[in-house]
Amino acid sequence: MSNANNPDYRLMRLEYLTNDAETLGNDYHRYLSYFLGRFQGCPEFYNYEALAYTIRERLMVGWRNTWADYLEPGTRRAYYMSLEFLIGRSLSNNLINLGLTGNVKTALDNYCANLEAIVEEEPDAGLGNGGLGRLAACFMDSCATLRLPVIGYGIRYEYGMFRQRINNGYQAEDPDHWLSDGNPWEIERPEYKQRIQFGGRTERYNDAQGKPRVRWVETSDVIAVPFDMPIAGYKNDTVNTLRLWKSSATNEFDLQEFNDGSYSEAVQAKNNAEHISMVLYPNDSSENGKELRLRQQYFLASSSLKDAIRIWEASGQTQYERFFAAENVFQMNDTHPTIAVAELMRILVDEKGLEWDAAWQITSKCMAYTNHTLLPEALERWPVHLFERLLPRLLEIIYEINARFLTEVARRWPGDVDRQRRMSLIEEGPVRQVRMAWLAIVGSFSINGVAALHSQLLIEGLFRDFYELWPEKFNNKTNGVTPRRWVAQANPLMSALITEKIGDGWVRDLSQLAGLKPYAEPAQREFQQRWHDTKLANKRRLAALVKAECQVDFDPTALFDIQVKRIHEYKRQLLNLLHVVHLYRRIRLGKTENMVNRCVLIGGKAAPGYIMAKRIIKMINSVAQVVNSDPEVDGKLKLAFLPNYRVSSMEIIAPAADLSEQISTAGKEASGTGNMKLMMNGALTIGTYDGANIEILDAVGAENFFLFGLRANEVEALRRNYRPWEYVEQDEDLKGVLDLIRSGHFNQWEPGIFDRVLDALLNPNDPWMTLADFRSYVAMQEQVAKAWQDQERWTRMSILNTANSGFFSTDRTMLEYNQDIWHLKSLSDD
């Protein structure tokens, strides 16, 4: 299998380590005692570290062999470039993918250690905000499982996503120093460091052949040091690489200034270099134009391209024009790394000496761009003056790309200056800006959205001009999630039950879940009882978490109604909250006919600068306090806000959910992926016709999905004359809900704090049009309650949701990327 001809890999034979429980136990014990110097009774964390090393050792042979295969001359490779990889924990995931969970449990028993407790010691690697970052992590898992030569490139942030604390009902942020106790999974590879330039100026000169060239001089350089994380495929001996860059100062940083006696300036320069990889920006929807963020983007793009080129040249390649685009493809995760388009041009033209046209041929054949949002405020634009100061050579290149591109536009639409203005990479105005999405589109051969509706809306709206120019570039790739983490690992009880009935092939080929459909037939009572019992056990686990974190008692037999995702107005946690208040009023008014006991859980982080989102969190907590302590409510309704929602919380939540809330304003949620995790684990969805909800609805059938609300086109049509107060006047319940909130019932000692939230709902310019969907949402929630009353019916619908979730595996998503965009050869095809 592995490349025996590659000299680097011929020298040493590596033997696989033994994986029986006894050897695993010995190795764990050896790490604990002889390496870490810890003994029985030590803090649990060291048991985690010892076990992590024990498992990491078992990845090494596969890791080395996988590299050897990928380095074969002529191998085409893909590079997934992303400012975010929301990995979460690695230990339990590696155990699942190596098939070692059982043996490790046995091994630990002999040392009176407990795997569940050890797993909890691992901090989440929270190097992402939400969907986009978690998607990148799921993609990595699937690529390794499919044995695709894909390397992930990201930033090794010292501080990941902030930790959320709730203080008097408000969100407070604490730094997440996840690396403080070390990271046993990573391997530092200083031998592959890269030098990255910033600042300085450009200079024209003639080379030895008399050709005019440009060089970028007097720069302040930063060193990029790679740290590799192993990504194990599922039981296939393949280990792919996630390469994360850390910034550090160059060696010479201090010499000059140090000699001049300016010691503190020298230290300042060192600090500036090290700041680049210090912290993840916790914004998930609005760009903030911070200089450090642009530095991060260029730092990632430049170091990754240089590394990919180094790898390619190391396999003996020199002929850029013939082979580079044939053997390398870069997938850019949103616009964040799209400066890579200009950087690859710079490397090819300035450093490799190619002609512009040849370099452009290459660049525009190996870049591909995925868009993840339709929200205009999330579209990245960088002030030209910032570019000029930080990346002067790249700005020149962007201007050149733009000039040639606009010539093409003018040739195609002579005299259409308005179109040229719209399509220009440079937005004119008081502050001229570089439009990063346009740069990505012009420089890429493939542009995709992340769900069918989203891709459609892109070509009809935001990207319309570009679609008219290059329709063949645009495509859809509906998102997915990895069934290894989100089912096999998170939901062992349900996994065992499924495997008992249809075998374990579903873990690699999720479409096999369709084999569960017969078990949803009314005759299969016994299976259905077990399915129900499994869900109940998972709900007990979640109830314990809610009790510990929120001091709220969730009754596991009640309907678990779940909304977990970033807090944003377009996701409409407020709509959910209005419904909770509506149910509360019904209880208080004694109108409880057909109500079911319901436990509503909301979780998610707000961007620290997003005032409205933070106020919504406060409101959820305020309503929760009143509802949960009102004796009249008496268990019929519970509301809890789960603090610090993250990957490892979702691993407890998804298996325990009955109802999945996917209630964004139609046309706003690009895809959603939490919706898929919840569906796979047997939750029913209440949702709008938005993002991947539509495809979930198609897969499971309307009779197993609670659809409500305006469609995307109806939302847009209504926007022109939206009159929210009319909905209030026509709806006693809505009026009652808003009046109760306005009365201060939920904020007795903090008067007025929710006025702005209410005003936003009642504003005719409310972009999210929450009140327009209130009635249809409440009506559909009544259907939910009705369905829940028939527990046997509910269980059958739950089984059908899991059975029809096969399409939403990232294995399918990655196969589509590979078929349509990457064209890689899987190692399995040999």
CB closer to ligand 26W, 103 vs 335: 335
**Least Å distance between CB 396 and ligand 26W?**
25
Exposed / middle / buried, residue 652 (Cβ in 10 Å: 0-12, 13-18, 19+): middle
User: Cα(383)–Cα(288) distance, rounded to whole angstroms?
Assistant: 11
Q: Which window, 14-22, 112-120, 126-134, 470-478, contacts ligand 26W (CB under 6 A)?
A: 126-134
Could you say which DSSP state residue 34 is in?
Answer: I
Q: Are 386 and 439 in contact (CB under 8 A)?
A: no
Q: How many residues does the chain have?
A: 830
Q: CB of residue 487 vs ligand 26W: minimum separation in angstroms?
A: 18
Contact (CB, 8 A) for 83 and 333: yes
| 132 lines the binding site for ligand 26W (CB under 6 A) | yes
Using CB under 6 A as the binding rule, whether residue 171 contacts ligand 26W is answered as no
* 672 lines the binding site for ligand 26W (CB under 6 A): yes
Location of structure tokens 């139609």: 666
328 versus 478: smaller Cβ distance to ligand 26W: 478
The CB density around residue 182, as the number of other CB atoms within 10 Å, is 9
> What is the three-class DSSP state of 249?
strand
Q: How far apart are CA 421 and CA 741, in angstroms?
A: 47
Q: Is 571 marked active-site?
A: yes
Active site residue 566: yes
Of 566, 614, 618, 646, which residue is the catalytic one? 566
Could you give the CA distance from residue 761 to residue 741 in angstroms, rounded to a whole number?
A: 12
Rounded distance, CA 617 to CA 428, Å? Answer: 38
Active site residue 677: yes
Stretch that binds ligand 26W, among 109-117, 371-379, 500-508, 552-560 (CB under 6 A): 371-379
Please say which residue, 495 or 813, places its beta carbon nearer to ligand 26W: 813
- Please select the residue that binds ligand 26W; options are 155, 406, 450, 459, rule is CB under 6 A: 450
Radius of gyration of the chain (CA): 28
Stretch that binds ligand 26W, among 53-61, 408-416, 525-533, 668-676 (CB under 6 A): 668-676
Q: Does 797 bind ligand 26W (CB under 6 A)?
A: no
Asked if 696 touches ligand 26W (CB under 6 A), the answer is no
In the complex, least distance from residue 348 CB atom to ligand 26W, rounded to whole angstroms? 28
- By CB under 6 A, residue 667 contacts ligand 26W: no
CA 226, distance to chain mean position in Å, is 21
CB of 624 to ligand 26W, least distance (A): 26
User: Shortest approach of ligand 26W to residue 643 CB, angstroms?
Assistant: 21
Q: How far is the CB of 130 from ligand 26W (least distance, A)?
A: 4
Residue whose entry in the numeric block shows the structure tokens 């306090």: 625
Least CB distance to ligand 26W at residue 129 (A): 6
Tokens 């409880």 belong to 592
SS (H, E, C) 61-101: HHHHHHHHHHCCCCCCEEEEECCCEEEECCHHHHHHHHCCH
Binding of residue 130 to ligand 26W (CB under 6 A): yes
372 is catalytic: yes
Q: Report how far residue 499's alpha carbon sits from residue 497's, in angstroms, rounded to the nearest whole number.
A: 5
Tokens 């050890």 locate to 118
Interacting span for ligand 26W (CB under 6 A) from 261-269, 487-495, 666-674, 681-689: 666-674
Query: Per-residue x/- mask for ligand 26W, residues 46 to 85, rule CB under 6 A?
Result: ----------------------------------------
Spatial CA neighbour of 340 closest among 289, 391, 264, 291? 391
Nearer to ligand 26W, 134 or 193 (CB): 134
Compute the least distance from the CB of residue 437 to ligand 26W, in Å: 11
Q: Is the Cβ of residue 135 or residue 447 nearer to ligand 26W in the bound state?
A: 135
Q: What's the min distance (Å) between Cβ of 379 and ligand 26W?
A: 8
For residues 761 and 734, give the distance between their C-alpha atoms in angstroms, rounded to a whole number.
12
Q: What residues contact 239, with CB distance under 8 A and at least 6 apart?
A: 59, 62, 63, 66, 144, 230, 231, 232, 233
Q: Interface with ligand 26W includes 695 (CB under 6 A)?
A: no
Residue given tokens 């040493």 in the structure block: 12
Find the largest Cα–Cα distance for the chain.
90
* Cβ atoms 239, 59 nearer than 8 A: yes
- Looking at residue 16, the DSSP 8-state letter turns out to be P
Any idea what the Cα angle at residue 426 is, between residues 421 and 432, rounded to 5°? 110
131 belongs to the binding site for ligand 26W (CB under 6 A): yes
List, in order, residues 6 or more apart from 84 with CB less than 8 Å away: 127, 128, 129, 132, 133, 136, 154, 280, 333, 336
| Contact partners, residue 814, CB within 8 Å, separation at least 6 | 139, 142, 143, 146, 148
User: Which residue in the list 435, 571, 598, 615 is annotated as catalytic?
Assistant: 571
Q: How far is the CB of 451 from ligand 26W (least distance, A)?
A: 7
Q: Is 356 helix (H, G, I), strand (E, B) or coil?
A: helix
Q: How many residues bind ligand 26W (CB under 6 A)?
A: 22
Measured distance CA(393)–CA(684) in Å, rounded: 53
Catalytic residue from among 29, 163, 193, 372: 372
Among 164, 673, 809, 810, binds ligand 26W (CB under 6 A): 673
Which of the ranges 279-287, 381-389, 391-399, 415-423 carries the binding residues for ligand 26W, by CB under 6 A?
Answer: 279-287
**How many Cα atoms within 13 Å fall on the side-chain side of residue 744?**
6
CA distance 620 to 743: 16
Task: Compare residues 364 and 478 and give the one whose CB is closer to ligand 26W.
Answer: 478
Closer residue to ligand 26W in complex, CB, 173/287? 287
Interaction of residue 479 with ligand 26W, rule CB under 6 A: yes
Which candidate, 479, 480, 452, places its Cα nearest to that of 667? 452
Task: Decide if residue 160 touches ligand 26W (CB under 6 A).
Answer: no
**Residue 135 or 494 with smaller CB distance to ligand 26W:** 135
Measured CA to CA, the distance from residue 571 to residue 668 in angstroms comes to 8
**x/- site string to ligand 26W, residues 281 to 300, per CB under 6 A?**
--xxx-x-------------
User: Which member of 125, 378, 546, 678 binds ligand 26W (CB under 6 A)?
Assistant: 378
Q: Name the residue nearer to ligand 26W (CB basis): 558 or 680.
A: 680
* Neighbouring C-beta atoms of residue 428, cutoff 10 Å: 10
Q: Nearest distance from residue 691's CB to ligand 26W, in Å?
A: 5
**Of the listed 565, 568, 579, 614, which one is catalytic?**
565
Select the residue interacting with ligand 26W from 637, 670, 734, 799 (CB under 6 A).
670
Alpha carbons 71 and 804: distance in angstroms, whole number: 39
Nearer to ligand 26W, 374 or 710 (CB): 374
The 305-344 contact track toward ligand 26W, x by CB under 6 A, reads -----------------------------x----------
Q: Is 809 in the site for ligand 26W (CB under 6 A)?
A: no
Q: Assess contact for 478 and 671: CB atoms under 8 A.
A: yes
Residue of minimal Cβ distance to ligand 26W: 131
**Residue 129 in the binding site for ligand 26W (CB under 6 A):** yes
Indicate the residue type of 668.
Answer: K
Smaller CB separation from ligand 26W, 682 or 691: 691
**What would the two tokens of residue 159 be?**
């501080």
Q: Site residues (CB under 6 A) for ligand 26W?
A: 129-132, 135, 283-285, 287, 334, 372-373, 378, 380, 450, 479, 669-673, 691
Show which residues are catalytic.
372, 565-566, 571, 673, 677
